[in-house]
Amino acid sequence: MECYLVIEIINQEPLKIGAGGSKASQREPAKDYIPGSTIRGAFIGRLKQQGLFASAWQDILLKAACHNAYPYRNGRLYLPAPQHLRLNKHDWRRQKALGDQTAQRAAVVQLAAGPAKDRKNTLPYRFLATYDGVSLSGLQVAKEYRLHHNTSRNPDREERDNLFRYEAIAAGQVFRTVFRCDQVLAPLLPAVFPEEETTIYLGGSKSSGYGLCRWKKIDDVRERYQDIKPLLGLPAQDRPQAPGQELWLTCLSDVLVRNRYGQPENDIPAAYIESISGEPVSPAEHFVHTGISEGYNATWQARYPKETTIKAGSVLHYTFDRELPGEQLQAIADQLEGRLVGERTQDGFGWLGVNLFYPEALQIAEQAAEKEPDSSGVQASWRQLAAAMEENEHVRNTWKLLAAGLDRAKKRWLQKIFLTDEQTQEPAADRFLLSPQLKRHHLQNMNQRLNRRDSSPDRPYMQDSRLCSIADCPFIAVLAYVTGAENAKLACYGQRYLQTASGQLFYAGESETAAPGSDKQRERKFILELLAMGLAIRIGRKTDVAKADF
């Protein structure tokens, strides 16, 4: 009999978990979630440190598994976007251009409902959650790049490039997962997941400033998967299952299924469903996205074999030969969700969601976090510093002295953000865009408007997001935001950088013109200074070109 425990993970440093399976190029991509194999490896490593692994190593290797850890925000677990949902990208872009995006939504349709020529584009978000029961909310995991210098090249090999970049999950993000094991291993769980929060290293390049996390258990061990769904952040079954013949399986993680000859298959065999339900079932529409299994085994010092998998987000539709009562359908769903199907289930493969409800509307903007992750431990809390500055003049004067010394480092950090966004190929909604097509007098006019906080829209180029935008918001919208207007997209963009170690350091104690610890004040000042830095860089380039032409 299995037991389940919900784990929350907050990364204090960037997480480098490679997604490419190769280091042949200068840029190694990173996953946007924490694989179950990574967490399971940390679990086994902690048991070895405490001398508890040798006594039950067979049960630990064969009877313990961990699901993938996905983003968790505002009480909701964000799951991989399903492949059978589509929208109209032109409608999406029109809605984004309307300004206040907190209430804007785009229509979403299911491909199984029939052909829809005007709704054929995939969703722009990697992860989705249902918030209010009538709309979906999307989320993109914030990432960052770091430049590294390799000084230990092999002279007998042709290694010309010793500068490379790592992509990593940005620090300050929250994930939740499920650890499942046999009841015989339950006494070992308190040794790894005690009552208090503990630190752990996950992923690679731990000696280069990556991987430091805090994890803690959420509540106690449960004996049923259905009991841990509310703790995990999945919506509860608030409505009874209606009678019917339909069975929709959504792959919440990659699924590796082999036939009797050991060959990978691109669906879940109907025989597996029949063995659980006891009812004849037939496959119907499948909306499948295939991938390749990856991974590295430190004990083997070799990578896992690459095999074709059913990628997370794939949707499989089956129909029973007869109409089943709602209670029977719910019992079948509980059994399918409570098991991991296929191979490599110890590493988190084979997680299924059954008959999940997807509203037919998608919110344009991401839901901003209601509160930042607790930064106690390695990183000092900027809220505590802001409160101390309000109460103690000595602390306030000391911080002003320190902040003056950090000013040059802060400017270099803002410059790095602009230059990185300038070179990246990410969508406009995730970066700072300042087009080289803008002339020098355009840039100077924008800089003057920024200094005067004048947001009157009397220049077309100030309203064109293709020429100047932050998070796909044009210059006028950005200027309105820094002067007090609400904008959810800019707030999310600012939070992405302010949750990093550099952001917390450079913008600590921002309370002189707002309430102590005001999130909005910090975000607005960051956006203001980032825009000013981008304009200064562009004006400088135009000036240099003009001098060269002269």
Q: pLDDT at position 164, please?
A: 72
Task: Please give the average per-residue pLDDT across 219-229, as a whole number.
Answer: 89
CATH code, domain carrying 309: 2.60.40.4350
Q: pLDDT at position 282, please?
A: 92
Q: pLDDT at position 67, please?
A: 92
Q: pLDDT at position 304, please?
A: 80
Percent of the chain with pLDDT over 90: 19
**Which of the four pLDDT bands, split at 50, 70 and 90, describes residue 121?**
confident
Instruction: Name the pTM for this structure.
Output: 0.69
**Which of the four pLDDT bands, split at 50, 70 and 90, describes residue 383?**
low
Q: pLDDT at position 380, please?
A: 45
Higher-pLDDT residue of 159 and 460 is 460
Helix or strand holding residue 237 (H, E): none
Domain boundary among 199, 234, 269: 234
- Give 283-311 pLDDT, tens digit per residue: 988 999 888 887 777 777 788 888 889 99
Residues 6+ apart with CB under 8 A from 410: 506, 529
**Which of the four pLDDT bands, split at 50, 70 and 90, describes residue 377?**
very low
Are 203 and 281 in the same domain?
no
Alpha helices in 120-269 (DSSP H): 189-192, 225-232
82-91, 289-298, 394-403: the lowest-pLDDT one: 394-403
Are 477 and 387 in the same domain?
yes
Alpha helices in 1-115 (DSSP H): 36-49, 57-63, 89-96
Please give the full DSSP string across 113-154, using - where no structure is assigned: G---TT--BPPS-SEEEESSSS-EEEE---EEEEEEE-----
30-44, 220-234, 287-301, 383-397: the lowest-pLDDT one: 383-397
**Does the pLDDT of residue 519 top 70, yes or no?**
no
**Does the pLDDT of residue 543 top 70, yes or no?**
yes
Percent of the chain with pLDDT over 70: 85
**Does the pLDDT of residue 250 top 90, yes or no?**
yes
Name the domain count of the chain. 3
CATH code, domain carrying 222: 3.30.70
Are 339 and 206 in the same domain?
no
> What are the C-alpha distances in Å from 224 to residues 36, 310, 339?
19, 26, 11
Helix or strand holding residue 446 (H, E): helix 440-452
Are 500 and 460 in the same domain?
yes
4-13, 199-208, 271-280, 394-403: the lowest-pLDDT one: 394-403
Are 256 and 229 in the same domain?
no
Task: Please give the average per-residue pLDDT across 122-145, as a whole number.
Answer: 86
Residue 249 lies in a domain: yes
167 closest CA partner among 10, 18, 13, 22: 18
Query: CA 150, CA 500: separation in Å to the nearest integer?
Result: 25
Q: pLDDT at position 21, please?
A: 52
Residue 70 lies in a domain: yes
**Does the pLDDT of residue 514 top 60, yes or no?**
no
Are 389 and 534 in the same domain?
yes
Are 351 and 446 in the same domain?
no
Q: pLDDT at position 27, please?
A: 65
Residue 88 lies in a domain: no
**Which of the four pLDDT bands, split at 50, 70 and 90, describes residue 341?**
very high
Q: pLDDT at position 236, please?
A: 64
Q: pLDDT at position 70, please?
A: 94
Are 149 and 50 in the same domain?
yes
**Does the pLDDT of residue 180 top 80, yes or no?**
yes
HEC profile of 148-161: EECCCCCCCCCCCC
Q: pLDDT at position 154, please?
A: 59
Residue 118 lies in a domain: no
Higher-pLDDT residue of 428 and 334 is 334
Give the number of other CB atoms < 10 A from CB of residue 526: 23
Q: Are 264 and 258 in contact (CB under 8 A)?
A: yes
Residue 361 lies in a domain: no
Higher-pLDDT residue of 333 and 425 is 333
Q: Are 211 and 203 in contact (CB under 8 A)?
A: yes
**Does the pLDDT of residue 402 top 90, yes or no?**
no
Residue 395 lies in a domain: yes
Residue 142 lies in a domain: yes
**Does the pLDDT of residue 516 top 60, yes or no?**
no
- Tell me whether strands 27-28 and 163-169 are parallel, antiparallel or unpaired: parallel
Domain that holds residue 440: 382-549
Q: Are 400 and 161 in contact (CB under 8 A)?
A: no
Q: pLDDT at position 314, please?
A: 93
Are 229 and 262 in the same domain?
no
78 closest CA partner among 367, 446, 503: 367
**Does the pLDDT of residue 405 top 70, yes or no?**
yes
Are 25 and 154 in the same domain?
yes
